[in-house]
Structures are given as C-alpha cells and as structure tokens.
Amino acid sequence: MEYTVHIRMNANLYLRNPDSSELGRKIVRQGILMFADIGFEEATFKKLAERIGTKEASIYRYFESKHRLLIYIVDWYWQWMEYQLVYETHNLTDPKEKLERALHLLLHIDLPETIRTSDSADGIDLKALHGIVVHEASKAYLTHHVTEDNSQHLFKPYKDLCNRLARMIQDVRPQYAFARSLASTLVETAHYQTFFMQHLPSLTNFEPTGGASQLLLFLRHLLFSALHQPAV
C-alpha cells in the first residue's frame, strides 16, 4: 500500500499556490532551509532566490512577504503535527495515553513501540522545520497586525492543534477549568524550553544536548500534576 498525505493550506497565505509548481515547492522547501540556517531576521527573498537559482520578483509572485512565508511554513508544521497526533492516537482508548503520545510528538521523541516517523514529508526537512518552530514560530503572531492576520484564519492550524490537545485534557479530567490554557502552555513550553536548553541553559534543568527526554519528564509531570490535583 502506498499513499501520501497532502496538506492543504489556507489560500490567504499566498498569492499563487506554491504547491502548484516546482518553483513554488522549491520556495517553501528552500525557505525552510534558509530560515533554519540564518534565522528569520537575516533571511531575505533575494538570498532565497539565489539559493533556488531564480529571481526575487519570482518569489514575490508566490508570497507577498517574508512574514507570510513564515506563517505558511509554521502552519504547514502545525497541520502536519495535528495529522500525526490524530494518526498516532486514533486507536487508543485511554485519554492519558493519548496525551502521552502528544508530548512525544511535540518533542519529536519517538515512542519505543512506534516506527520512526520519517524525516521528510513532501520533500520538507522536518528537522529543520522543527528548529524553525522552536526559534521563529512565535514571530508569526507576535506582531502589531495579529488581529488582521487572525481574521484571515492564518492561525487556525495552531488553534486546531491546541484545541485537539485541550479536548484530550478535558477527556482525562472533565472538571478541569483550564484545558485550553494548559494545552497552549504545553505547546509553547515544549518549544521555548527547547530554545532555552540550547541557548540559555541556566533557565532550565536540562542538558544543552539530548535534554529532550528530561524536558519530557518535566512536561509530563506538569501536565499530570495539574490533572490529578483537585480542581480549583
């Protein structure tokens, strides 16, 4: 059996669908590598064009700005993550087990019994992409125009993922009053603790490299402590 899962993106994110041409797909794939290599601030469409072997103007035909490209990329990631989460949990009955898998996915830690999730999908470098999510994802919404962007549903993939997590939390403990906030806190914490671990390790209790499994212990304890403690 062969199949590919294709992620459909919100049309407000682009001027021309990057998925409809080889150039478009290169913009996204190489855009990911560029952001991962030099960071969002240092990245420009000119540099990206040089990487690809095309011209700046051609990229502007697909994306109106570097910021929209960033949102496209992180949205792709959230949608991919939500798919993984659905796939990895749909056969489970214990809601705690579902949350356990969610934590592993968020941290890119393979479960012992699972076959290694592939390193690429649609030609996208998932490791580089994870790095972008850790280092740059919050810049997608931390802008002065967050409200306009939100009204175009640009953050829907992130919200959808958090919502799904929140429902799992609710399933474990229906009377818990902060499922949504706890869900977004878990996602955010997974990422900036990873960032701190790598760059400002004194803000964490983890080793700069390979601390992901320690971070998992922290998140698990945080999550299940909150759910086992009597509700407020």
- Residues forming the site for its own copies (CB under 8 A): 38-39, 41-42, 135-136, 138-139, 141-144, 146-147, 150, 155, 158-159, 162-163, 177-185, 188-189, 192-193, 195-196, 199-200, 202-206, 215, 217-218, 220-222, 224-226, 228-229, 232
What DSSP assignment string belongs to 27-42?
Answer: HHHHHHHHHHHHHHHH
Determine the interface stretch with DNA among 50-58, 75-83, 97-105, 143-151 (rule: CB under 7 A). Answer: 50-58
Q: Contact with DNA (CB under 7 A): which of 60, 83, 176, 218?
A: 60
Cβ atoms 125, 29 nearer than 8 A: yes
CB of 19 to DNA, least distance (A): 11
**Residues 29-48: x/- map of binding to DNA (CB under 7 A)?**
---------------xxxx-
Cβ atoms 161, 188 nearer than 8 A: no
Q: How far apart are CA 39 and CA 33, in angstroms?
A: 9
CB of 165 to its own copies, least distance (A): 11
Q: Contact with DNA (CB under 7 A): which of 7, 19, 23, 226?
A: 23
Cβ atoms 124, 76 nearer than 8 A: yes
Based on CB atoms, which residue is closest to DNA, 20 or 152? Answer: 20
Quick one: how far is CA 110 from the chain centroid? 16
Q: Contact with DNA (CB under 7 A): which of 5, 11, 12, 55?
A: 55
What DSSP assignment string belongs to 54-91?
Answer: S-HHHHHTT-S-HHHHHHHHHHHHHHHHHHHHHHHHTT
Determine the interface stretch with DNA among 54-62, 157-165, 168-176, 192-200 (rule: CB under 7 A). Answer: 54-62
Backbone phi and psi for residue 121, each to the nearest 5 degrees, phi listed first: -145, 130
